Amino acid sequence: MRATGGFIALLVLAFPAAADDAVPAAKLKQVDTGIEFYAGDHLVTRLLTSDKLSKPILWPLNPIPNLTVTRSWPTEEIGDEKKDHPHHRSLWFCHGDVIPEGLDYVKSGDKRVKGVDFWSEGKNHGKIVCVDALVMGNRAIMKNEWREPGGKKVLDETRTISLVPMGKNRNLLVFDIDLHASQYPLTFGDTKEGSLGVRVRKTIALETSKSGHLIDDKGGSGEKEVWGKVANWCDYSGPLGEGAPVGGVALFADPKNSTDTAWHSRGYGLMAANPFGRAGSFPGRKGNSNLVKLAKGEHLKLRFGVYLHAGDVKEGKVAEAFKEFAK
């Protein structure tokens, strides 16, 4: 991966904040491991682009300075974190079944997967490689190649991640994703394993914390009311450590995306926005079996938000932040 750029601050159009809630400047810094995102002096997150990873990730995610909302394992060993699902690396974007028509690719061995599995890790799974990344003001612009297990390119992706500070301990990361079927016609398979995912720490996850909360914009609360449903946003919040303040992370799906979003959100700590899974995977999409397909040369553009906030869903003004994001 080649990276260019330096430590740059840019005055950008910011979302409104109260007079007593000064909005810090967004700053991005190139480092050996990737790109760091700052709101003032607050390290919001770090984009890791090493080709040793199965895909680029954002770690840590800090709603409050030095307090992360996500699980650190397997990126780093901290305390007694649960060591399940090693592919749940903080925050990532991919899909668990991408079917390239006309490509002789290595099969995953999982009968449920018809194409290339970019969600899981290990032998016979796909890899997303960042081949270039640069900093432009408050944005990190990545060029990624999605490759099948044998190393052949399946598709090209341009991913832009913009940091928009919204106030003290309220920061929005906007993902503009352009998936380009540059090599082959593509079908995004019907699987729950996708796509913009985050794995929260155990002090927030419902199964390991009495203080955690999982809520969507339709009024759903907890895994039974949220999983598989179609919604515009979903929020996970709770203590950012033992005895630490409450904070959270919300994932936003732009209503203007060409396909709506169902939620692969679990009590053990996973929360994922999935625009590709259909009726076979999600009850909220009953009757919808139309898979997302791209002819060779076509692009699919998607927009998502990752909103980091102090406090719970109300104190963190999640609904208000989504309204600004969706304008």
Domain that holds residue 175: 2-326
Confidence class of residue 20 from pLDDT cuts 50, 70 and 90? very low
- State the Cα–Cα distance between residues 38 and 27, nearest whole angstrom: 5
Element (H, E) at 257: none
C-beta of residue 171 within 8 angstroms of C-beta of residue 39: yes
Residue of 111, 88, 115 lying closest to 99 (CA atoms): 115
Predicted pLDDT at 12: 40
Predicted pLDDT at 13: 41
- The pLDDT tens digits of the residues spanning 167-201 come to 999 999 999 999 999 999 999 999 999 999 999 99
Q: What is the mean pLDDT of the chain?
A: 92
Question: Length of the chain, please?
Answer: 327
Q: Which residue has the tokens 């780093």?
A: 76
Domain count, the chain: 1
* pLDDT greater than 60 at residue 2: no
Q: Is the peptide bond before 195 cis (omega within 30 degrees of 0)?
A: yes
Q: Which residue has the tokens 């409104």?
A: 16
- The pLDDT tens digits of the residues spanning 40-66 come to 999 999 999 998 899 999 999 999 999
As given in the structure block, the two tokens for residue 154 are 């399946």
pTM here is: 0.92
Residue of 154, 165, 179 lying closest to 10 (CA atoms): 165
Predicted pLDDT at 288: 85
- State the Cα–Cα distance between residues 174 and 86, nearest whole angstrom: 25
Q: Are strands 299-310 and 246-253 parallel, antiparallel or unpaired?
A: antiparallel
Confidence class of residue 286 from pLDDT cuts 50, 70 and 90? confident
* pLDDT greater than 60 at residue 6: no
pLDDT above 70 covers a percentage of the chain that reads: 92
Grouping H, G, I as helix, E, B as strand and the rest as coil, residue 318 is helix
Q: Are strands 2-4 and 127-136 parallel, antiparallel or unpaired?
A: parallel
Predicted pLDDT at 84: 64
Give the CA dihedral 267, 112, 120, 35, nearest 10 degrees: -90
- State the Cα–Cα distance between residues 76 and 220, nearest whole angstrom: 33
- How many Cα atoms occupy the beta-carbon half-sphere of 195 within 13 Å? 26
- State the Cα–Cα distance between residues 62 and 44, nearest whole angstrom: 5
Identity at 25, one-letter amino acid code: A
Task: Give whole-number Cα distances, 106 to 97, 100, 132, 148, 327, in Å.
Answer: 13, 11, 25, 7, 42
- The pLDDT tens digits of the residues spanning 160-176 come to 999 999 999 999 999 99
Query: What CATH number has the domain bearing residue 272?
Result: 2.70.98
Residue 232: count other Cβ atoms within 10 Å of its Cβ: 19
Q: Which residue has the tokens 């203590």?
A: 239
C-beta of residue 98 within 8 angstroms of C-beta of residue 154: yes
At 109, phi and psi to the nearest 5?
95, -10
- The pLDDT tens digits of the residues spanning 118-161 come to 999 988 999 999 999 999 999 999 999 999 999 999 999 999 99
- State the Cα–Cα distance between residues 281 and 139, nearest whole angstrom: 34
